Amino acid sequence: MHLRVPMLTLLLAAMACATAAAPSATIAQQGRVVQDRDWCDNDWNDDDNERHCEVREFTLSPRDLIAVNASPNGGIEVEGWDRNEVLVRAKVSARGRSESDAREIAGEVEIETGGRWIEADGPRTRRHESWWVSYRVFVPTNTNLDLKSTNGSIRISDVAGRIDFRTTNGGVRLARLQGDVNGRTTNGGLRVELAGDRWEGRGLDVRTTNGGVKLYVPDGYNCRLETGTVNGSFRIDFPVTVQGRLDRRHFNVELGDGGPTIRAVTTNGGVVVERA
């Protein structure tokens, strides 16, 4: 037996379903609040009493490019994993005239994930008030990245793709990367950890203006290695056969069978090259 349902009834049912789905979409946009006391505690000094910190979590579909803007005052950590999804954890920190004020300020901070940039938008603050957001992002290993921050560090590990980054007043740590990596920092050190026996991709070109460089190279690694400093000490802790130019503060040499160029240089800071 077939029942004929009036069109008006169908329309009302569709509207009811859409209304019921709306709160879920809003919750997803706001993110899930998760517990991470250790990460929150990293932000505070003993005299920071009027404060609030919360960690929000967002799950996104994979994208060709993940772009994160943590300016001002936020750090960025990106780690590659084997899942076909992107997990964003945003640590929202706020200071206020009272703990309730700090909580209210943090509550007004929104994390935008739908546009080109993953970034925060928040309230204008008065004296003795502030807010900032740091990010931990897990991405499929073959993901392109564009990262920027001011007064925050950048860490990237286990990613292969086109990677661009820049920060001011923050250190940079890169581990087990592949692809085409370019980045700059001012007033921060560089730590580069190579892995495997060669670089897969175009190469790595990273620089700092005021900070040291630490470069860790596995035994048997094959590449064109360039590193050096203008004002600072230089040390390499393993023997090499020089086929290029070597002076007291600049090192440009082919390791093993050669390969893509690995360049990590500084203007004002020491350079150390060690075995990984």
Q: Render pLDDT for 17-69 as a digit per residue (tens, 0 to 9).
A: 443 433 333 333 568 888 888 899 876 655 556 899 999 999 999 999 999 99
In a domain? residue 157: no
Please report, as a single letter, which amino acid is at residue 22.
A
- Write the CA distances from 111 to 9, 32, 208, 244, integer angstroms: 38, 12, 29, 49
In a domain? residue 22: no
pLDDT value at position 242? 64
pLDDT category, 105, cuts 50, 70, 90?
very high
**Please, are residues 206 and 263 in contact by the beta-carbon 8 Å criterion?**
yes
Query: Does residue 206 have a pLDDT over 90?
Result: yes
The distance in angstroms from the start CA to the end CA of the chain is 75
In a domain? residue 15: no
In sequence order, what are the residues at sequence separation of 6 or more whose Cβ sits closer than 8 angstroms to the Cβ of residue 181?
Answer: 163, 174, 201, 203, 204, 205, 206
CA nearest to 181, candidates 152, 197, 201, 208: 201
What backbone phi and psi angles, to 5 degrees, belong to 150? -130, 130
pTM, two decimals, is: 0.86
pLDDT value at position 58? 96
**How many whole angstroms separate alpha carbon 119 and alpha carbon 68?**
6
pLDDT value at position 37? 85
pLDDT value at position 248? 63
pLDDT value at position 150? 95
pLDDT value at position 1? 42
In a domain? residue 3: no
In sequence order, what are the residues at sequence separation of 6 or more whose Cβ sits closer than 8 angstroms to the Cβ of residue 16?
Answer: none
pLDDT value at position 48? 57
Flag the least confident range among 7-16, 36-45, 61-70, 207-216. Answer: 7-16
pLDDT in tens, 241-268: 765 556 667 888 899 999 999 999 999 9
Query: Does residue 198 have a pLDDT over 90?
Result: yes
- Rounded percentage of the chain residues whose pLDDT exceeds 70: 84
User: What one-character-per-residue DSSP string does 143-200 give?
Assistant: -EEEEEEES--EEEES-EEEEEEEEES--EEEES-EEEEEEEEESS-EEEE--SSB--
Please report, as a single letter, which amino acid is at residue 15.
M
How is residue 111 annotated by DSSP? Answer: E
**Please, are residues 222 and 197 in contact by the beta-carbon 8 Å criterion?**
yes
**Please, are residues 52 and 96 in contact by the beta-carbon 8 Å criterion?**
yes
Domain stop point among 86, 120, 150: 150
Domain stop point among 81, 115, 150: 150
Tally of structural domains, the chain: 2
Q: Tokens 């069978």 label which residue?
A: 257
Q: Where are the alpha helices (DSSP H) in the chain?
A: 7-30, 37-41, 99-107
Instruction: Indicate if 34 and 146 belong to the same structural domain.
Output: yes
Domain stop point among 116, 150, 184: 150
Q: Domain containing 112: what range?
A: 30-150
